[in-house]
Amino acid sequence: MTTLDRKLIRDLWQMRGQVLAIAAVIAGGVATLVMALSTYDSLLATRDRFYADYRFAEVFTNLKRAPQAVAQRLAEIPGVGRLETRVLAVVKLEVAGFTDPVTGVLSSVPDSGEPLLNTLHLKRGRWLTPYASDEAIVSDTFADAHGLAPGDRIAAIVNGKRKTLTLVGIALSPEYVYQIAPGAMFPDFKRYGVLWLGRSALAAAYGMEGAFNSLSATLTPGTEARPIIDRLDTLLAPYGGIGAYARRDQFSNRFLSEELKQLQTTATVFPAIFLGVAAFLLNVVVTRLIATQREQIAILKAFGYRHLTIGWHYVKLVAAMAFFGVAGGVALGAWFGNGLANVYMDFYRFPYLDYVLAPRVVVIALAVTGCAALSGTLIALGRAIRLPPAEGMRPETPIAYRTTLLERIGLQRFFSQPSRMILRHIERRPLKSLLTVLGIACAGGLMMVGNYQRGAIDFMVDVQFRQAAREDLAVTFIEPTGAAALQEIAQLPGVRQVEGFRDVPANLRFSHYHYRSALYGIQPEGRLHRSLDSALRPIRLPAGGVVLTDHLANNILHVKPGEALTVDVLEGRRRSFEVPVLGLTKQYLGVSAYMDQDSLNAMLGEGNVVSGAYIAHEPGAEAALYSQLHARPRVLGMVAHAAAIKSFYTTLGEFVLFFNMVATLLAATIAFGVVYNSARIALSERGRELASLRVLGFSRGEIAYILLGELAVLTLAAIPLGFLVGAGLCGILVMVFKSDLYRLPLVLEPYNFALGATVVVVSAIASGLLVWYRLGRLDLVSVLKTRE
Partner 1 sequence: MANEKVIFRANGLTKIYRLGEMAVQALRGIDLELRAGEMVVLLGPSGSGKSTLLNILGGLDTPTAGEVYYLDRNLSVAGEEALTRFRRDHVGFVFQFYNLIPSLTARENVAAVTEIARSPMTPEAALLEVGMGERLNHFPAQLSGGEQQRVAIARAIAKNPAVLLCDEPTGALDSETGVMVLEALEKVNRELGTLTVLITHNAGIADMADRVIRLSDGHIVEERRNTHKKAARELHW
The nearer residue to partner 1, 299 or 732, going by C-beta atoms, is 299
**In angstroms, what is the minimal distance from the CB of 4 to partner 1?**
7
Distance CA 565, CA 567 (A): 6
309 versus 403: smaller Cβ distance to partner 1: 309
Bridge partners (DSSP) of residue 612 are 476, 501
The H-or-E segment that residue 687 falls in is helix 652-695
What is the DSSP code (8-state) at residue 267?
H
Which amino acid, residue 414? F
Nearer to partner 1, 69 or 308 (CB): 308
- What does the alpha-carbon distance between residue 210 and residue 329 come to, in Å, rounded to a whole number? 60
Q: Considering only 2-10, 84-92, 188-196, 358-366, which stretch makes contact with partner 1 by CB under 8 A? A: 2-10
- In the bound state with partner 1, the residue whose beta carbon lies nearer, of 92 and 294, is 294
Q: Binding of partner 1 at residue 414 (CB under 8 A)?
A: no
Q: Is 773 in the site for partner 1 (CB under 8 A)?
A: no
Least distance in angstroms from the C-beta of 19 to partner 1: 13
Does an H or E element contain 601, and which? helix 597-603
Interface with partner 1 (CB under 8 A), residue from 351, 389, 439, 653:
389
Site string for partner 1, 70-99 (x = CB under 8 A): ------------------------------
CB 121 within 8 A of CB 173: yes
Q: Is 11 in the site for partner 1 (CB under 8 A)?
A: yes
Our finding on whether 786 is near partner 1 (CB under 8 A) is yes
One residue of 390, 490, 661, 695 binding partner 1 per CB under 8 A: 390
The answer to whether the Cα torsion of 336, 338, 339, 343 is positive or negative is: positive
> Binding string to partner 1 for residues 285 to 324, with x set by CB under 8 A, is what?
----------xx--xxxxxxxxx-x---------------
* Residue 785 C-beta: closest distance to partner 1, Å: 6
Minimum CB separation of residue 310 from partner 1 in Å reads 10
Q: How far is the CB of 397 from partner 1 (least distance, A)?
A: 8
**Is-contact 298 393, C-beta < 8 A?**
yes
Residue ranges in 13-32 that form contacts with partner 1 under rule CB under 8 A: 14
- 560 touches partner 1 (CB under 8 A): no
DSSP 165-214: EEEEEEEE-GGGSS---TT-SS--TTTEEEEEEEHHHHHHHHT-TTEEEE
Question: Please, which residue, 695 or 769, has the CB nearer to partner 1?
Answer: 695
CA separation for the pair 541, 521 (Å, rounded): 10
Interatomic CA distance for residues 543 and 551, integer angstroms: 22
Contact 128, 137 (CB under 8 A): yes
Choice between 521 and 687, CB closer to partner 1: 687
CB of 781 to partner 1, least distance (A): 10
785 lines the binding site for partner 1 (CB under 8 A) = yes
687 — alpha (psi -120 to 50), left (phi > 0) or beta?
alpha
Q: Which residue among 160, 238, 382, 388 contacts partner 1 (CB under 8 A)?
A: 388
- Residue 695 in contact with partner 1, rule: CB under 8 A: no
List the one residue from 132, 393, 536, 616 that touches partner 1 (CB under 8 A).
393
Give the interface segment with partner 1, choosing from 59-67, 382-390, 517-525, 721-729 (CB under 8 A): 382-390
Q: What is the DSSP string of 702-740?
A: HHHHHHHHHHHHHHHHHHHHHHHHHHHHHHHHHHH-B-S
Cα–Cα distance for residue pair 51/257, rounded to 1 Å:
13
Nearer to partner 1, 393 or 657 (CB): 393
* Smallest separation, CB 788 to partner 1 (Å): 10
Q: Which stretch binds partner 1 (CB under 8 A): 207-215, 486-494, 634-642, 780-788?
A: 780-788
3-class DSSP state of 162: strand
Give the contact letters, 492-531, x = binds to partner 1 (CB under 8 A), - = no: ----------------------------------------
Q: Is 4 in the site for partner 1 (CB under 8 A)?
A: yes
Which residue from 2, 414, 573, 605 is in contact with partner 1, where contact means CB under 8 A? Answer: 2
- Nearer to partner 1 by Cβ, of 328 and 392: the residue is 392
The shares of helix, strand and coil residues in the chain, as percent rounded to the nearest 5, are 55, 20, 25
Q: Is 402 in the site for partner 1 (CB under 8 A)?
A: no
109 versus 783: smaller Cβ distance to partner 1 = 783
Q: Which is nearer to partner 1, 389 or 526 (CB)?
A: 389
Minimum CB distance to partner 1, residue 301 (Å): 7
- Contact between 7 and partner 1 by CB under 8 A: the answer reads yes
Q: Which is nearer to partner 1, 53 or 788 (CB)?
A: 788
Longest CA–CA span in the chain (Å) reads: 104
Output 460 or 783, the one with its CB closest to partner 1: 783
What minimum distance in Å lies between the beta carbon of 12 and partner 1?
Answer: 9
Judged on CB neighbours under 10 Å (0-12, 13-18, 19+), 279 is buried
CB of 734 to partner 1, least distance (A): 49
Count interface residues toward partner 1 (CB under 8 A): 27
Cβ 305 to partner 1, closest distance in Å? 6
Nearest residue to 469 via CA among 617, 600, 616, 584? 616
408 is a site residue for partner 1 (CB under 8 A):
no
List, as one string, the DSSP characters of 95-144.
Answer: ETTEEEEEEEEEEEE-SSS--SSS--EEEEE-PPPTT-SSEEEEEHHHHH
The one-letter code for the residue type at 383 is R
d(C-alpha 770, C-alpha 673), whole Å: 13
Q: Report the distance separating Cα 204 and Cα 155, nearest Å.
A: 17
- The phi and psi torsions of 82 (rounded to 5 degrees) equal -90, 150
CA 287 to chain CA mean position, Å:
35
Nearer to partner 1, 306 or 466 (CB): 306
Name which of 13 and 414 has its Cβ closer to partner 1. 13
Q: Give CA–CA dist 412/429, Å, rounded.
A: 20
Query: Smallest gap, in angstroms, from Cβ of residue 37 to partner 1?
Result: 38
Task: Catalogue the long-range contacts made by 418-425 (C-beta closer than 8 Å, 24 or more residues apart).
Answer: 418/702, 418/705, 418/706, 418/709, 419/709, 421/706, 422/706, 422/709, 422/710, 422/713, 425/401, 425/710
Q: Which residues bind partner 1 (CB under 8 A)?
A: 2-4, 6-7, 10-11, 14, 295-296, 299-307, 309, 388-390, 393, 785-787
